[in-house]
Amino acid sequence: MSWSASGPSSADDVQHGDAAPAPSNAGAIPAPVAPMPAPVVAPLVAAPVTPVVSDTAAPPVAVVPPPAVQIDVPDAPSVAWPAGDAMQTDPVGSLTTAKNSVPHGTGLVYDVRMMLHTTPAPGETHPEQPARIERIYTLLEQNGCVARMVRIPAREVLRSEVELVHEPSLWDEFEATVRIPFDELVEYSRQLEARASLYLNEYSTLSARFSCGSVIEMCQAVATRRVRNGFALVRPPGHHAEPNCGTGFCLYNNVAVAATSVLANSPPHDPVNRILIVDWDVHHGNGTQRAFWDNPNVLYVSLHRYENGTYYPGTTYGNYDRVGGPAALGKSLNIPWPCGGMGDADYLHAFQRCILPVAYEFAPDMVIISAGFDAAEGDMLGGCHVSPAGYAHLTHQLAALANGRLVVALEGGYNLDAIANSALAVTRVLLNEPLPVLPAGLATSTAGADTVARTVRAQAPYWRSLAVEQAYMPPSGPSNTAGDVLAAKRSAALWSAHRMVSLPPIPTEHIVANQVACSATLMSQGLETLLVFVHDNGAVQLDDAILPGEYAHEPALYMSDSSEFVAQWTSDRGFACADVNTRASLPVRTLRNQDRDRALPRTDEAGLKSQMGAQLLYLWDNFFALSPAKHIVFIAHGTACDAVVHLISRRVVQDRVVAMIQLMGYNPIPLVPKQRQELKMWYYKNSLVMCPHNHPLYLWDEQSASGKRLGHTVRASEPNAANLVQAAWPEVEAFIDARLKARRLVHV
């Protein structure tokens, strides 16, 4: 999440570009305002605030008289505060409430001093900018939300509170920055940005203290039922901050400190013993998960882009198999999205299929949302498509828990319009407004459903509500892969039905049997046609089956395998058949090609393609090219399509190969070499490339610019790639007959 850019100073964004940036010679932080007393949840009027000095706070600044609407912080941007008939001016710049506020309503905490944290050098911009919270507050006010909310005064966090989660050295390190000369601070901030995706100016620690302290105040207000629920409109964010370091735009972990404080200080007559934290920021909250890794009283749930650990924060700590420490197994629940583009349907599916069943079983006394809005539609860092209505529905479902004790704390989100509209939708839910209507036709993506299913299997051993699923328990002893089992079954079936025998595999260090089978007539004189079927392992699924009689208790291994079907067809035609398995997996996910590498499990894709290509070259050179067959037909399925194109690009096959049928999965279509013009024309004429209905070529017009290098493409009506062989067989059969007829006419 590192960021570097040049442009207008982010301090200029504090009030729509009207405020001036902090002078470059500003070297001292203003004296902090001490914590305010607990709010009275009744109609408030402006009144002088008597500060209470904290255990580390400096003497309080002087309070400006109530009539003023300007906050003047020495050597810092001046921030105008709105005034009007319904609102009274807060002399220290904290949020005020409407005169008609109702007890047990919705709280809001906000303070303009959190906008003082900005990039230290003039001319630099950053996505985590002061205007983020200002834009949200303005939109809430314009839509009448602020006037209906209860003021929760902002305050600075105490050192003793920070040390509930963080090491003492972290406080010392951040507080020391106020004594660094400005020029040195600029350079230090640049180094920190490169190392930890974090910047600091002379006011950053003040803003961070208010951000963390404000979340604590809101959580305490909800825990003690002074308000029913609330929104902590704070920055800088916190969920990346680890016990020993700040990182990822975060100084202190606001939510972790607040949750720990509430657990330690909840009222005895109405205690908070269990807290659910739902983190829907697009980045994994590594700091929050680490803070509660071995704490059975906090259930941490995160939905985030993961991409095999390559997406920020760039570790495998957010994978679905990270379920908590020894004392808290199941208390870390990760939904690691494999790619961008996830939307409302994916998030709602994750909630309904996994998160809510676990949440009800956990039965929290309070719910805290780490509400990053960078998965919102339009966010430049998140690349997802969650709508304001989607966020509203997620909030509504969480509000049903913990007797309504719900706190929303702002985390990330960097498109100003997107975060403002999303925060408005969430706030309206907190205020009990009707839910917005979601569009018809919402359905989770294949990648989304697969990710949630993996999480459910990983969590099933620890939650009875998920126990209906097969638990994720890797074998500890020797085992066979599903591909090995399928290969043995395939080899036995082909021998039994068609007397097809195994060919020796390519000599390698790890020789795998049962991968290549051929008809006994492969080398027979007078053979006219050889059909070579090259395929991957197909779709394999283990599930509980509904089986009759005495077998009802046995699980079923569903194997989508077309080898016997193809072998029977070639036998009926009098052709010889060769069956080649590449041991890869059938690509069944509909993904944009640019997301595919991140979405699929970690494999050496280049190495896999090279291995498949080498295997087919070996078989061609030692068997197929030596066969007396006059005509050779290739049918490839799934990832094997790459191996066939690799073969025709490296061997001269045009004299004997009469047809090339490619039955695609949802993988990218392989291309013939661009510089081979004659091969491109031959391939286009002699190929049939059948694509499942929702292939990216047709959904998103991907690869269309490649033209004839794709071959002759046809869109099938079948959406399931595993069923494409049988579904497209009438077209395949007609194409083979046509190409064989054309070749025979040429030789007459």
Residue type, 580: V
Give the span between the Cα atoms of 423 and 326, in whole angstroms. Answer: 36
Where residue 473 falls (left for φ over 0; alpha for ψ -120 to 50; beta otherwise) is beta
- Provide the number of structural domains found in the chain: 2
Question: Can the peptide bond before residue 461 be classed as cis, meaning omega within 30 degrees of 0?
Answer: no
- Indicate if 453 and 515 belong to the same structural domain: no
Strand partners, 371: 410
**Lowest-confidence region among 44-53, 430-439, 564-573:** 44-53
Domain end, chosen from 466, 500, 525, is at: 466
- Residues 446-461 have a mean pLDDT of 91
Compute the average pLDDT of residues 625-634: 95
What is the pLDDT at residue 514?
A: 74
Q: Let me know whether 419 and 525 are in one domain.
A: no
- CA–CA gap between residue 561 and residue 580 (Å, rounded): 12
Whether 260 is in a domain gets the answer yes
- Tell me the whole-structure pTM to 2 decimals: 0.65
Q: 117, 126, 240, 283: which is the annotated catalytic residue?
A: 240
Residue 309 vs residues 284, 320, 458, 501: alpha-carbon distances, Å: 10, 11, 17, 43
Beta bridge partners of 369: 278, 408
Contacts of 100 (CB under 8 A, 6+ apart): 43, 147
pLDDT of res. 390: 98
Query: φ, ψ for residue 661 (rounded to 5)?
Result: -105, 125
Residues above pLDDT 70, as percent of the chain = 75
Which of 674, 722, 719, 673 is closest to 696 using CA atoms? 719
Residue 445 has pLDDT above 70, yes or no: yes
CATH number of the domain residue 614 falls in: 3.40.50.1820
CA distance between the termini of the chain: 67
How far is the CA of 532 from the CAs of 80, 120, 744, in angstroms? 76, 66, 19
pLDDT greater than 60 at residue 724: yes
Q: What is the mean pLDDT of residues 496-508?
A: 80
**Mean pLDDT value of segment 295-308:** 96
**pLDDT classification of 476: cutoffs 50, 70, 90:** low
3-state secondary structure of 509: coil
pLDDT given for residue 575 in this prediction: 96
Q: Are residues 457 and 507 both part of a single domain?
A: no
Which band of pLDDT confidence, cut at 50, 70 and 90, is reported for residue 631? Answer: very high
H-run or E-run covering 569: helix 563-573
For 633-664, write each residue's pLDDT tens digit. Answer: 999 998 889 999 999 999 999 999 999 999 99
Report the C-alpha gap between 291 and 370 in whole angstroms: 14
Q: Are residues 588 and 678 in the same domain?
A: yes
Q: Are 461 and 519 contained in the same domain?
A: no
Indicate the DSSP class of residue 318: G
CATH number, position 290 = 3.40.800.20
Joined together, the tokens standing for residue 691 give 């694509």
Same domain, 439 and 527: no
Mark which of 466, 499, 529 sits at the end of a domain. Answer: 466
Q: Are residues 165 and 92 in the same domain?
A: yes
The pLDDT confidence band at residue 386, using thresholds 50, 70 and 90, is very high
Range among 14-28, 281-295, 668-682 with highest mean pLDDT value:
281-295
Q: Do both 302 and 433 map to the same domain? A: yes
User: What pLDDT is stored for residue 508 in this prediction?
Assistant: 61
Q: Is the pLDDT of residue 252 over 70?
A: yes
Residue 629 resides in a domain: yes
Q: Is the pLDDT of residue 95 over 50?
A: no
Same domain, 364 and 490: no
The answer to whether position 653 is within a domain reads yes
Of 442, 466, 490, the one marking the end of a domain is 466
- With bands split at pLDDT 50, 70 and 90, how would you rate the model's confidence at 10? very low
Question: What's the average model confidence in pLDDT over 36-46?
Answer: 34
Task: Look at residue 23 and tell me if it is in a domain.
Answer: yes
- Beta bridge partner(s), residue 637: 663
**Same structural domain for residues 237 and 158?**
yes
Check whether 60 has a pLDDT greater than 50: no
Instruction: Report the candidate in 297, 302, 221 with the shortest Cα–Cα distance to residue 263.
Output: 297
If one compares 372 and 492, the residue with the highest pLDDT of the two is: 372
For residue 132, name the pLDDT band (cuts at 50, 70, 90): very high
Q: Centre a 10 Å sphere on the Cβ of residue 4 and count the other Cβ atoms it contains.
A: 11
- pLDDT (mean) for 308-317: 92
Examine the pLDDT at 605 and tell me if it is beyond 90.
Answer: no
β-partners of residue 407 are 230, 368
Higher pLDDT, 636 or 546: 636
Whether residue 493 is found in the same domain as residue 452: no
pLDDT surpassing 80 at residue 302: yes
In DSSP terms, which residues pair with 703 in a beta bridge?
none
Which pLDDT score is estimated for 56? 43
The continuous run of DSSP H or E covering 279 comes out as strand 275-279
Tokens of 588: 């069944």
Q: How far apart are CA 451 and CA 135, in angstroms?
A: 34
DSSP letter, residue 117: -
pLDDT of residue 192: 81
* 126 catalytically annotated: no
Interval 218-231: pLDDT, tens: 999 999 999 999 99
| Mean pLDDT rounded to a whole number for the chain | 80
The listed range with the strongest mean pLDDT (7-11, 43-47, 77-81, 238-242) is 238-242
In this structure, are residues 303 and 332 in contact, taking their beta carbons and an 8 Å threshold? no
Whether residue 194 is contained in a domain is answered as yes
Instruction: Say if residue 551's pLDDT is above 80.
Output: no
Lowest mean pLDDT among 108-112, 186-190, 438-442, 494-498: 186-190
> Any idea which residue has 């004429």 for tokens?
685
**Does 475 fall in a domain?**
no
Asked if 164 and 260 count as a contact pair (C-beta separation under 8 A), the reply is yes
Of 731, 728, 739, 692, give the one whose Cα is nearest residue 562. 728
Range from 37-41, 316-320, 498-502 carrying the lowest mean pLDDT: 37-41
Contact 650, 677 (CB under 8 A): no
What is the residue type of 269?
A: H
Cis before 237? omega within 30: no
The bridge status of strand 298-305 relative to strand 332-337 is: parallel
Question: What is the pLDDT, as a whole number, of residue 675?
Answer: 84
| pLDDT at residue 159 is higher than 70 | yes
Q: 731 vs 695, which has greater pLDDT? A: 731
Give the mean pLDDT of 270-282: 97
Instruction: Report yes or no on 473 lying in a domain.
Output: no
Across 220-245, b (16+ Cβ under 10 Å) vs e yields: bbbbbebbbbbbbbbbbbbbbbbeeb
DSSP string, 602-620: S--HHHHHHHHHHHHHHHI
Is 70 exceeded by the pLDDT of residue 352?
Answer: yes
Name the band, by pLDDT with cuts 50, 70 and 90, for residue 35. very low
> How would residue 80 be classed by pLDDT, with cut points 50, 70 and 90?
very low
- The strand pairing partners of 657, in sequence order, are 632
Whether 32 has a pLDDT exceeding 70, the answer reads no
Q: Does residue 255 register a pLDDT over 80?
A: yes
For residues 420 and 298, is the Cβ–Cβ distance under 8 A?
Answer: no
Residue 46 has pLDDT above 70, yes or no: no
* Mean pLDDT to the nearest integer, 33-58: 36
pLDDT, residue 589, reads 47
Domain membership flag for residue 476: no
Domain interval for residue 376: 10-466
Decide if pLDDT at 135 tops 50.
yes
Q: Radius of gyration over alpha carbons of the chain, in Å?
A: 32
Q: Say if residues 242 and 287 touch (Cβ distance below 8 Å).
A: yes
Comparing CA positions, the residue from 473, 262, 247, 447 lying closest to residue 347 is 447
Instruction: Place 101 in a pLDDT band, splitting at 50, 70 and 90.
Output: very low
Top pLDDT among 446 and 417 is at 417
Ranking 89-103, 274-288, 484-498, 541-555 by mean pLDDT, the lowest is 89-103
Token digits for 417?
Answer: 């319009």
Could you tell me how many residues make up the chain? 748
Which of the pair, 266 or 7, is modelled with greater confidence? 266
Tell me the per-residue pLDDT of 567-588, one tens digit each, with 9 for 90 and over.
999 999 999 999 998 865 545 4
More confident residue, 31 or 346: 346
Q: What is the pLDDT confidence band of residue 180, given thresholds at 50, 70 and 90?
A: confident
Residue 43 clears pLDDT 90, i.e. is over it: no
Q: Give the residue, 638 or 31, on which the prediction is more confident.
A: 638
Residue 596 confidence (pLDDT): 44
Burial status of residue 446 (CB atoms within 10 A of its CB: 0-12, 13-18, 19 or more): middle
Estimate to the nearest angstrom the gap between the alpha carbon of 405 and the chain centroid: 27
Same structural domain, 496 and 459: no
| Phi and psi angles of residue 275, each rounded to the nearest 5 degrees, phi first | -125, 135
